[in-house]
């Protein structure tokens, strides 16, 4: 069994990986059967996907995966299996669901079952022909006219597939047109063709909660040339996520003018968050240095666009803050955060940090939500802390991020850890990349020993060690939170004190030279320096402030002295009365 990961996908609170030999593994939250283990338990480790009882086919036959919020898609290659001395052939590239959910009855599973906790075949594709496959004599005579699916994608409650003719299919809770041509969201169990692209080849596609972005050839076929692709978008456009220059929703695909035929840029990767879109594009021209850029549009209130603000954008804008010489090879969006990976192993993330989809640094303090409005480099725990070796792919869930590195042999995860979402064997959050327990214990045990009796003991030992580590980490986390709270309070106090004395906030980058060198802060010397640099207006304002402070102190001392005198007088009067009465 291969340990090499060739693809990873992240859902709302679970992760799915595909290995080189076609095996599927999952971990995280197990509610609604999304892990495909035939049960709803959470899994803290990567576990193998259960086989389909209906087909009796081994699970190790997959070539593609995709995840929505609560459902998954798996693409399976041709297989042959034996049942009761009868040979069966599975249709090439049938579309199946390794772990499925139709929690909101939106039809994203492609069948009539409410839930499915093991792989279920999407039967609706079997009798369909591609809308781009023209009937001719050879097709009519063919006995194998079944549709061939080549690519699957998912997002929110929506599912997408591209067939061998380059046609796009869509089902689940997806954008459609009413009888009057207006935009609406429609639930469909049956995969529906997107007729707008008839006669063209869909090369890439991605979807958010309610919008779709596709990269399509300008002609009938795609020959791999840079000038042969344009970008389309349709669906909900409340936040400008379609990149069409306005916030009007579309029921039919429209070309994004930033990446039309006349554009100097060509799209090679797309990803969608809940309400934002991210695109990787490079220059069409070969007579200049190849330049790779990331473009974003849509909702920006959590900084997920990476433009340095919380403003939304109705048109794709490039992220100039990323290194100009970085060639970006992987891109993905969480609900409200975005991540990219360069060919040299550098990883950047931006967007919501409070939701732990980012977490590059746990040391931020104050009332700030912690959102990153500009790309932040994720430090690698290995090598020199700058790059991950052998980068392959990044995947973003609702509040966690997973990275495949070491050419597919190592997995890292960070973000929210509850329900075992990070696959580290723990349920604690991680503010930095933590190694996923890969390869799984079962794979290691099989490779090291032919005896399956040793596997439970190995798992028990691993679980025991991890539970002990979890307890230690929990105690350390509590201590860290206490110290962080204390530090925040002290920083606030120091800042207020600094403002009271020097009339300006404390800037840690400009700490006193005397404090940096000797560890002793010469407040008199610092005050003299402030007074020397202050102009007449600032000196007058400081004089008024300190005069007022001095008056307040004198008044407070006077009141206390008066209270003491009154107490003394009352005490003497009481003593005198006692003597006179006696």
CB atoms within 10 A of CB 557: 10
Helix 441-448 and helix 454-502, axial crossing angle in degrees, nearest 10 = 140
pTM: 0.71
What are the residue boundaries of the structural domains of the chain, listed by start?
544-582
SS3 491: helix
Residue among 414, 425, 330 nearest 44 (CA): 425
Q: CB neighbours of 480 closer than 8 A, spacing ≥ 6?
A: 362
Q: Are 152 and 66 in contact (CB under 8 A)?
A: yes
**What's the confidence (pLDDT) of residue 462?**
59
Could you tell me which of 418, 369, 372, 428 has the C-alpha nearest to residue 397?
418
Instruction: Please report the pLDDT score of residue 533 as a whole number.
Output: 78
**Predicted pLDDT of residue 110:** 45
Tally of residues, the chain: 582
Q: What's the confidence (pLDDT) of residue 138?
A: 46
514's torsion region: left (phi>0), alpha (psi -120 to 50) or beta?
A: alpha
Q: Which of 447, 538, 543 is nearest to 3 (CA)?
A: 447
Which tens digit of pLDDT belongs to each residue from 429-463? Answer: 888 899 999 998 766 555 554 444 444 455 556 55
Q: Omega before 345 cis (within 30°)?
A: no
pLDDT at 152: 94
Bridge-partner residues for 151, per DSSP? Answer: 162
Is residue 323 classed as helix, strand or coil in its secondary structure? coil
- Cα 315 from chain centre: 22
Complete DSSP assignment for 153-164: EEETTEEEEEET
Can you spell out the DSSP letters for 178-215?
-TTS-EEEEEEEEEEE-GGGTTS-EEEEEE-SSEEEEE
User: Which residues, other chains included, contact 451 with Cβ-Cβ below 8 Å and sequence gap of 6+?
Assistant: none
Question: What 3-state DSSP class applies to 544?
Answer: helix
Map residue 471 onto helix, strand or coil.
helix
Rounded to whole angstroms, how far apart are CA atoms 13 and 388? Answer: 24
29 touches 21 (CB < 8 A): no
Shortest CA distance to 205 belongs to which of 391, 107, 106, 73?
A: 73
DSSP code for 26: E
User: Chain-centre distance of CA 265, in angstroms?
Assistant: 26
Extract the residue ranges of the chain whose pLDDT is less than 70.
1, 52-60, 78-119, 123-146, 224-227, 286-290, 354-369, 382-384, 442-467, 469-471, 481, 484, 488, 491-492, 495-522, 581-582
């Amino acid at each position: 069994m291969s340990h090499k990961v060739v693809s990873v996908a992240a859902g709302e609170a679970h992760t799915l990986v595909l290995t080189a030999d076609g095996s599927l593994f999952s971990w995280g939250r197990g509610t609604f059967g999304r892990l495909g283990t035939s049960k709803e338990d959470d899994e803290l480790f990567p576990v193998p996907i259960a086989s389909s009882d209906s087909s009796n086919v081994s699970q190790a036959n997959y070539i593609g995966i995709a995840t929505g919020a609560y459902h998954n898609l798996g693409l399976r290659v041709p297989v042959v299996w034996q049942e009761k001395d009868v040979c069966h052939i599975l249709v090439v590239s049938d579309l199946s669901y390794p772990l499925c959910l139709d929690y909101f009855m939106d039809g994203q599973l492609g069948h009539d079952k409410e839930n499915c906790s093991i792989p279920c075949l999407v039967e609706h594709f079997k009798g369909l022909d591609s809308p781009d496959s023209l009937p001719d004599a050879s097709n009519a005579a063919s006995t194998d006219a079944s549709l061939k699916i080549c690519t699957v994608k998912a997002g929110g409650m929506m599912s997408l597939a591209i067939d061998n003719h380059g046609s796009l299919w869509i089902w689940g809770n997806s954008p459609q047109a009413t009888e009057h041509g207006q935009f609406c969201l429609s639930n469909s169990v049956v995969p529906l063709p997107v007729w707008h692209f008839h006669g063209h080849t869909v090369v890439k596609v991605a979807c958010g909660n309610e919008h779709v972005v596709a990269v399509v050839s300008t002609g009938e076929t795609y020959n791999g040339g840079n000038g042969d692709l344009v970008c389309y978008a349709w669906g909900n456009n409340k936040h400008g996520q379609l990149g069409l220059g306005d916030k009007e929703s579309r029921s039919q695909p429209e070309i994004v003018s930033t990446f039309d035929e006349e554009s100097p840029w060509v799209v090679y990767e797309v990803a969608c968050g809940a309400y934002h879109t991210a695109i990787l594009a490079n220059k069409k021209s070969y007579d200049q240095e190849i330049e790779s850029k990331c473009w974003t549009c849509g909702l920006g209130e959590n900084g997920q666009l990476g433009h340095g603000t919380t403003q939304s954008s109705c048109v794709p804008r490039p992220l100039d803050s990323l290194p100009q010489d970085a060639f970006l090879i992987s891109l993905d969006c969480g609900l409200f955060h975005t991540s990219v990976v360069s060919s040299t192993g550098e990883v950047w993330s931006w967007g919501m940090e409070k939701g732990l989809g980012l977490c590059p640094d746990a040391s931020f303090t104050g009332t700030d939500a912690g959102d990153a409005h500009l790309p932040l480099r994720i430090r690698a725990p290995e090598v020199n802390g700058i790059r991950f070796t052998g980068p392959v792919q990044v995947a973003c869930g609702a509040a966690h991020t997973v990275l495949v590195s070491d050419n597919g042999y190592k997995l890292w995860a960070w973000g929210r850890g509850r329900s075992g979402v990070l696959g580290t064997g723990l349920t604690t959050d991680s503010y930095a990349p933590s190694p996923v327990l890969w390869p799984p214990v079962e794979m290691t045990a099989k490779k090291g020993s032919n005896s399956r009796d040793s596997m439970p003991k190995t798992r028990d030992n691993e679980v025991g060690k991890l539970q002990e580590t979890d307890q230690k980490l929990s105690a350390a986390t509590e201590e860290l939170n206490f110290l962080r709270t204390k530090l925040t309070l002290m920083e606030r106090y120091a800042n207020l004190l600094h403002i009271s004395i020097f009339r300006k906030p404390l800037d840690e980058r400009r700490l006193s030279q005397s404090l940096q060198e000797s560890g002793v802060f010469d407040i008199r010397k610092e005050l003299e320096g402030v007074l020397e640099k202050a102009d007449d207006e600032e000196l007058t304002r400081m004089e008024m402030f300190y005069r007022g402070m001095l008056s307040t102190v004198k008044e407070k001392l006077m009141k206390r002295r008066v209270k003491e005198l009154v107490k003394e007088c009352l005490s003497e009067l009481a003593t005198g009365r006692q003597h006179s009465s006696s």
